[in-house]
Chain A
Amino acid sequence: DAEITQSPRHKITETGRQVTLACHQTWNHNNMFWYRQDLGHGLRLIHYSYGVQDTNKGEVSDGYSVSRSNTEDLPLTLESAASSQTSVYFCASSEGLGANTGELFFGEGSRLTVL
């Protein structure tokens, strides 16, 4: 079965360290997304990609970067982790961009704690 997996599922790091969260999907979807979820804010879009070599900033992109070298993977990098980046991170993928397409398929989430 096609799936989307994230690693690590849990990560504790220190302020200032670089952290990379991995996301791998086997749906063969062109679109991939990274969200963070914090209490009271719901899901907020960090970065997204509509295809290989395409990356775009979302509403909360400061301090994060992504790269898309193949269809399956969209790693999220925190260049210098800050306590404000403590959150649960979800990777998601979807097939199309039309209004009538694009159900999001989510990974299991990665809980990041920055001390």
Chain B
Amino acid sequence: QKEVEQNSGPLSVPEGAIASLNCTYSDRGSQSFFWYRQYSGKSPELIMFIYSNGDKEDGRFTAQLNKASQYVSLLIRDSQPSDSATYLCAVKNYGQNFVFGPGTRLSVLP
């Protein structure tokens, strides 16, 4: 069974710090990787996706992918209290559906 694992948290970081969220996946054939943010009581929304090994930056967010280690991470620089949410890692292969991790709850302390 394909699995995606994340630390459930909560991960607490002070305002202005870097938050590092990690995700590992079991299906070596996975080709695309997504990070969704979900505020309490709301639906998930896409933050970033990454397909190739290495780093991808978008504003304060950086996604990092290492397919050899089956590992993907999300870095949030200059964390703000508004970043406090649950972050879902999702993995996808061609022609197949998303597999979601359980999510990591992030708390940014003012």
Contacts and interface: CB of A to CB of B under 8 A. Distances in A.
Contacts of B93: 99
Interface of A: 33, 35, 40-45, 48, 58, 90, 97-100, 102-104, 106-109
A98 to B, nearest CB: 6
A99 B100 contact: no
Interface stretch (B40-48, B56-64, B66-74, B77-85): B40-48
Given A40-B8, A42-B88, A100-B32, A107 B101 contact: no
B69 to A, nearest CB: 19
B45 to A, nearest CB: 7
A58 B43 CA distance: 20
B94 A99 contact: yes
Contacts of B8: 40
A82 B92 CA distance: 31
A111 to B, nearest CB: 9
Contacts of B98: 43, 45, 102, 104
A51 B41 CA distance: 29
Given A58-B97, A104-B46, A42 B51 contact: no
